[in-house]
Chains A and B, each alone.
Chain A
Amino acid sequence: MHRIGVFVCWCGSNIAATVDVERVVAEAKVQPGVVFAQDYQYMCSEAGQNIIKDAIRTHALTGVVVCSCSPRMHEATFRKAASLAGLNPYMVEIANIREHCSWIHKDKEEGTEKACVLMRAAVAKVTLNVPLKAGESKVVKRALVIGGGIAGIQTALDIADAGFPVDIVEKNATIGGRMAQLDKTFPTLDCSSCILTPKMVEAKANENIRLITYAEVEEVSGFVGSFKAKIRKKARFVKEDVCTGCGVCMSKCPSKKGLNEFNMGLNNRSAIYIPFAQAIPNVAVIDKEQCIKLKTGKCGLCEKVCTAGAIDYTQQDEFIEEEYGAIVMATGFRPIDASKFDEYSYSTCKDVVTSLELERIMNAAGPTGGVLLRPSDGKHPHSIVFIQCVGSRDVSGRGKPYCSKICCMYTAKHAMLIRDKYPDVEVHVFYIDVRTPGKNFDEFYRRAAEQYDVDYIKGQVGKVYEENGQLVVRGVDLISNEQIVLNADMVVLATAIEPDPTARKVANMLTASIDTNDFITEAHPKLRPVESPTAGIFLSGVCQGPKDIPETVSQAGAAASKVIGLLAKDKLTTNPCVAHSDELLCNGCSCCEKVCPYGAISYDTKLINDHGVKENRRVATVNEALCQGCGACTVVCPSGAMDLKGFSNKQIMAEVDAICL
């Protein structure tokens, strides 16, 4: 017979304030199969766990129900406690009476009633639980980092330092990412390249790191500990191991009308190019859409001038297949398209630029050699207006509902740098709020406003337009409650940042959860911020949410330490809640095989002993190492042979019964 123990947690006052825990205990005691019930203030504490362990031993419990917080929080804790007391950990069920009950209901009567129902459902389920045994699987001691910006580089360096091989897959021709495009970094104003490029060089030199640039991950299969990835290395039309990066080809190339992506399209580049001087690898690449030779077959100048003989117009995409124990997403961000907010005339006026474009204009390696010149006529501007929150904190649906976090600080930086270098330039900043939570951030902003005399105006801009060749900014000053009209020589838009468009594709491949803004969801927002709910997938940098460089670097290190922790293990325990086919009931129809997303189901002809009649039948077999336990197969099975351990048909039916009682 079943001997079930029910443990009701108060969670301090979190549960006890809206649920009469004593009534839940009293109700539990009269449930069929329940031999013991008790409440305690904090079940998850050591004392609370001891109550469970003692009860399992003294009352020889065969099943445990803990009425507490969400199973996503403490299921693992209580399972572990049960197994320490000698009970199979899968004989534990959680009734979620905090998140799904006490926290959302104000009325104690209502809350208590619902808690009793949830407890009853969990008891009904646990009577049908069977002991399950977790299997073991191998760990491939190699990590994959997708994205070669500062997040990916830092994660890879940390993993490599711990002695594990790691591959960085970068879609562009060089690693470095967005940080390579920046001029100075706040709040210390050190030069971005000066701190990034040594890290890029280190990544190339580290013998545990393999850089796979100009490449994209095409397919991922497998699971934590043994993923298989197929990587497409796009044809560069330049032999990577032969090119010396001398750059002669770039100067001779006659096709020079390509937009320079690195400079945000502010100037042009040749069809064969090295993205920037410090690129790693320092190897040229041919833009096949732009190259005359590749498009028409005539030209071939670069091949003639290349003394190393590195040009190869016949190069094809290559595929690399590799196994990995862990995968880190570091896919980064891009600024949103500012032409969506055309009241600011971004698409029509050349002198309306985004902050990242200004960053290139201010950069010594940028299109103007670091001299502040306006894009339309190359003249020195005398008045610059910055507009904050372009597309950030926008609930209209045109922009993003979230705060992009970095804009207040980089605008203060831009304003300060401009005022420092060109004291004759007037700088105005329109803002909704100035948000400066960070070490030395507020001091930095105050320096811009007070010491450098930057004119901060609280209010929004309604319109930017050109009138007789002059940019006019119309806005409102909310403090004096007055309309403001300013003439400006340049307008800079602090555009919202959004996850790189590849993030969604990559997340789908990895089956990593993603939110409505395309940021990757973490396993727990506070307690597991660098892990995806999908085991073996880790998050680094802005792909998880907006962050600045110091935060990105610390998160990258955190992700690396999680990866190292995983790769250091020799074996992993697998989820035992997998599908199982009853060979006696299986009619060999193949329905389950077709819906399985993991190819975990195969058909074999087996000798089946059906109540004394022995015959060869074609039956389904589940590969438990591949099955992830979604249960798709259980629903399509017409004969009811397929069931899911831990969430069996009978268990769920019992829950339905208990709830509808």
Chain B
Amino acid sequence: MSVNGNLTAAPAANAPAAEWKPRIVAFCCNWCSYAGADLAGSSRLAYPADVKIIRVPCSCRVNPMFILKAFERGADGVILCGCHPGDCHYSTGNYYTRRRMALLFSMLDYIGVERGRTRVEWVSAAEGARFSKVMNDFVAKIRELGENVKVGDLRCKE
């Protein structure tokens, strides 16, 4: 694993820092996190423009396929945000997310997409400040990890 880690870090270290901009996909549930992101917006709480949000009805709507697809297409990080455990609009959706993503992220780590590139966070509709903080932290982490080269389809890069 350490060899893989070095390989992943190498191109990022050599690449000119100004050119590379991380591509980050954020899946947000409609009821809590998407509203939290709206609140971050209306409170003017900045986070990097690298984060692009996709609205889903519930975090449990996010099929692992979507996340694999994002990495295949060259995403550098994927974050999944839902309601706090116990607060899911659909009662139990985020519990499924929590368990499902624990498995997926450990598999991704195994094939070389480091743990830091994937994250599940709970952000309520009232937590605009938290949304902004989570995104700032996540982008900082991805910048530290550098470009993701592990599962990206090289044909997409050309």
Does chain A have a CB within 8 A of B32?
A: yes
Is the Cβ of B44 less than 8 Å from the Cβ of A104? Answer: yes
In contact, A508 and B41 (Cβ under 8 angstroms): no
Is B73's beta carbon under 8 Å from chain A? yes
A515 part of interface (Cβ distance < 8 Å): yes
Q: Is the CB of B93 within 8 A of A513?
A: no
**Does residue A585 face the partner (Cβ distance < 8 Å to B)?**
no
Q: Is the CB of B38 within 8 A of A99?
A: yes
What residues of B have a CB within 8 angstroms of the CB of A628 in the complex?
90
Are A653 and B60 neighbours in the complex by a CB distance under 8 Å?
A: no
B23 touches A660 (CB 8 A): yes
Q: Which one of A534, A647, A659 lies within 8 Å of B23 (CB-CB)? A: A659
B79 CB-CB contact with A under 8 Å? no
Tell me, in angstroms, the Cα distance from A521 to B69 when the chains sit together: 34
A165→B36 CA distance, assembly (Å): 37
Q: Which residues of B have CB within 8 Å of A533?
A: 31, 35, 89, 125
Chain B min CB distance to A576 (Å): 13
Specify the chain B residue showing the minimal Cβ separation from A517: B126
Give the most central of A504, A521, A659: most B CB within 10 Å. A659
Q: Determine whether the beta carbon of A652 is less than 8 Å from that of B124.
A: no
Contacts of B44 in A (CB 8 A): 103-104
Known A521-B124, A631-B61; judge A657-B56 contact (CB<8 A). no
A292 at the interface (CB under 8 A from B): no
Q: Are B53 and A653 in contact (CB under 8 A)?
A: no
**B32 nearest CB across to chain A (Å):** 7
Interface size, chain B (Cβ < 8 Å): 53
Q: Is B34 an interface residue (CB 8 A)?
A: yes
| A-chain residues with CB within 8 Å of residue B55 when the two chains form the complex | 71, 96
Contacts of B124 in A (CB 8 A): 513-516, 521
- Given contacts A104-B45, A508-B91, A635 and B62 within 8 Å (CB-CB): yes
Query: Does B113 belong to the interface (CB within 8 Å)?
Result: no
Q: B25 touching A656 by the CB < 8 A rule?
A: yes
Shortest CB distance A516–B (Å): 6
Q: Which of A508, A514, A661 has the most CB of B within 10 A?
A: A514
Bound complex: CA A96 to CA B37 (Å): 11
- B32 touching A635 by the CB < 8 A rule? no
Say how far A170's CB is from chain B's closest CB, in angstroms.
25
- Are B127 and A516 in contact, with the CB atoms below 8 A? yes
Contact B38 A656 (CB under 8 A): no
Interface string of B61-99 (1 = CB under 8 A from A): 111111001100111000000011011111111001000
Contact of A511 among B23, B91, B156 (CB under 8 A): B91
A660 engages B70 (CB within 8 Å) = yes
The reply to whether B125 and A521 contact each other, CB–CB distance below 8 Å, is: yes
Is A597's beta carbon under 8 Å from chain B?
Answer: yes
A634 at the interface (CB under 8 A from B): yes
Q: Which of A503-523 contact B (CB under 8 A)?
A: 504, 508, 511, 513-516, 521
Residue of A at shortest CB range from B30? A72
Residues of B within 8 A of A597 (CB): 90-93
Within 8 Å of chain B (Cβ to Cβ): is A595?
Answer: yes
Instruction: Point out the residues of chain A lying under 8 angstroms from B92, CB to CB.
Output: 595, 597, 632
- Which residues of A lie under 8 Å from residue B132 when comparing CB positions? 104
Question: Any chain B CB within 8 A of the CB of A121?
Answer: yes
Please give me the residue from chain A that is nearest to B76 by CB atom: A660
Of A105-113, A459-467, A611-619, the stretch lying at the interface with chain B is A105-113
Contact A577 B57 (CB under 8 A): yes
Question: What A residues does B40 contact at CB under 8 A?
Answer: 99, 104
CA distance A104 to B41 in the complex (A): 6
B141 beta carbon closer than 8 Å to chain A: no
- A655 CB–B CB distance under 8 Å: yes
Kindly provide the distance from the CB of A199 to the nearest chain B CB, expressed in whole angstroms: 32
Q: Does B46 contact A (CB under 8 A)?
A: yes
Q: Which of chain B's residues have a CB closer than 8 A to the CB of A117?
A: 52
User: In the assembly, what is the distance between CA of A508 and CA of B83, in Å?
Assistant: 12
Cβ–Cβ contact A653 & B52, under 8 A:
no
Is A283 part of the contact surface with B, judged by Cβ < 8 Å? no
A639 lies within 8 A of chain B by Cβ: no
Q: Does A118 have its Cβ within 8 Å of any Cβ on chain B? A: yes
Say yes or no: is B10 at the interface (Cβ < 8 Å to chain A): no
CB contact under 8 A between A647 and B125, given known A100-B53, A110-B49, A631-B56: no
Given A99-B42, A121-B54, A659-B25, A653 and B69 touching (CB < 8 A)? yes
On whether A635 and B60 interact (CB within 8 A), knowing A72-B38, A521-B126, the answer reads yes
Which residue of chain A has the shortest Cβ distance to B74 in the bound complex?
A: A660
- Asked if B38 and A118 make an inter-chain contact with CB atoms under 8 angstroms apart, the answer reads no
Are A630 and B90 also in contact (CB < 8 A) when A513-B125, A635-B96 are?
A: yes
User: CB of B100 within 8 A of chain A?
Assistant: yes
Q: Provide the bound-state CA to CA distance between A629 and B31, in Å.
A: 12
Query: In the complex, which residues of chain B have a beta carbon less than 8 angstroms from the beta carbon of A661?
Result: 73
Are B73 and A656 neighbours in the complex by a CB distance under 8 Å? yes
Q: A121-B52, A511-B89 are in contact. Are A652 and B37 (CB under 8 A)?
A: no
Contact B96 A632 (CB under 8 A): yes
B-contact 0/1 string along A618-653, CB 8 Å cutoff? 000000000011111011100000001001010011
B38 touches A635 (CB 8 A): no
Between B25, B45, B125, the greatest number of chain A beta carbons within 10 A of the residue's beta carbon is seen for B125
Q: A171 CB to closest chain B CB, in angstroms? A: 21
Cβ of A101 within 8 Å of any chain B Cβ, yes or no, is yes
Let me know if B58 is at the binding interface, CB within 8 A: yes
Please tell me if A348 contacts chain B, counting CB pairs below 8 Å. no
- With A99-B38, A513-B125, A516-B84 as known contacts, state yes or no: A647 contacts B66, CB within 8 Å: no
Are B96 and A657 touching (Cβ within 8 A)?
no
Please give me the residue from chain A that is nearest to B32 by CB atom: A513
With A597-B93, A632-B96 known as contacts, the answer to whether A513 contacts B31 (CB < 8 A) is yes
Chain B residue numbers with a CB within 8 Å of A118 are 52
Supply 4 further A-B pairs (C-beta < 8 A) apart from A118-B52, A652-B56.
A111-B49, A631-B56, A635-B63, A656-B69
List of 10 A-B pairs having minimum Cβ-Cβ separation, nearest first = A99-B41, A631-B61, A660-B73, A630-B90, A515-B126, A630-B58, A103-B41, A99-B38, A114-B49, A110-B49
Show 22 A/B contacts (Cβ-Cβ < 8 Å), sorted by A. Answer: A96-B53, A98-B41, A103-B44, A104-B46, A508-B87, A533-B31, A630-B57, A631-B56, A631-B57, A631-B61, A632-B61, A647-B56, A647-B61, A649-B63, A652-B56, A653-B65, A657-B69, A659-B52, A659-B54, A659-B70, A660-B25, A660-B70
